């Protein structure tokens, strides 16, 4: 039902870290990342997770986003081009309300799945 693309840049990572308050240096300092056993700084996972949140909110702002959950499957790196998608998983009636469940995904340009997730959006009459 919705798609989006994001090219990961250091700027985007630092901007998200500043906005969120997660200043873990492995996401912006190559030296710290290497000392911790990574080839270099990698994307803070909550950045693509938050983009999935944006995707769902902008899809139908009139619905109530009751639940959103994501699972981090693999790391992403500066220079990656990430494809985000929300697809319809189920529609159910809950009394007078309609509950729409979406499946969420974030895939790297290599085809590797970086995140999966699901969201519940409630539409009230």
Partner 1 sequence: MWVERGKVREFNEACGVTGPTADEVHPMFLVTAAFWQSADSLPPALRDREVVRQLHGEQEFRYPERLPRVGEEFTCTVSVEREFVKEGKRGGAMRLLVRLIEFVASDGTLVAQSRATIIQPTLQPGEDRA
- What residues make contact with partner 1 under the rule CB under 8 A? 4, 6, 12, 15-16, 18-22, 24-26, 32, 36, 45-47, 49-51, 53-54, 56-58, 61, 64-72
Closest approach of Cβ 37 to partner 1, in Å? Answer: 8
Residue (49 or 99) nearer to partner 1, CB: 49
Nearest distance from C-beta of residue 111 to partner 1, angstroms: 19
Beta carbon of residue 75, minimum distance to partner 1 (angstroms, whole number): 9
Residue 115 DSSP SS3: strand
Q: Choose between 46 and 85: whose C-beta lies nearer to partner 1.
A: 46
CA angle 46–59–22, rounded 5-degree value: 15
What is the rounded CA–CA span in Å between residue 108 and residue 75? 9
- Looking at beta carbons only, is 55 or 108 nearer to partner 1? 55
Q: For residues 68 and 52, give the distance between their C-alpha atoms in angstroms, rounded to a whole number.
A: 9
As measured in angstroms, the least distance from the Cβ of 91 to partner 1 is 20
**Residues in Cβ contact with 69 at an 8 Å cutoff, skipping those fewer than 6 apart:** 117, 118, 119
Pairing of strands 97-107, 81-94: antiparallel
């Amino acid at each position: 039902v919705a798609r989006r693309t994001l090219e990961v840049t250091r700027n985007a990572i630092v901007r998200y870290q500043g906005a969120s308050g997660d200043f873990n240096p492995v996401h912006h300092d190559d030296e710290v990342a290497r000392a911790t056993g990574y080839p270099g700084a990698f994307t803070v996972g909550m950045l693509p997770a938050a983009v999935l949140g944006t995707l769902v909110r902008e899809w139908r702002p009139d619905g109530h986003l009751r639940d959103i959950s994501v699972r981090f499957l693999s790391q992403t790196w500066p220079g990656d081009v990430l494809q985000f998608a929300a697809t319809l998983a189920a529609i159910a009636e809950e009394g007078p309300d309609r509950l729409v469940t979406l499946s969420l995904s974030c895939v790297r340009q290599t085809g590797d799945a970086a995140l999966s997730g699901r969201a519940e959006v409630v539409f009230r009459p």
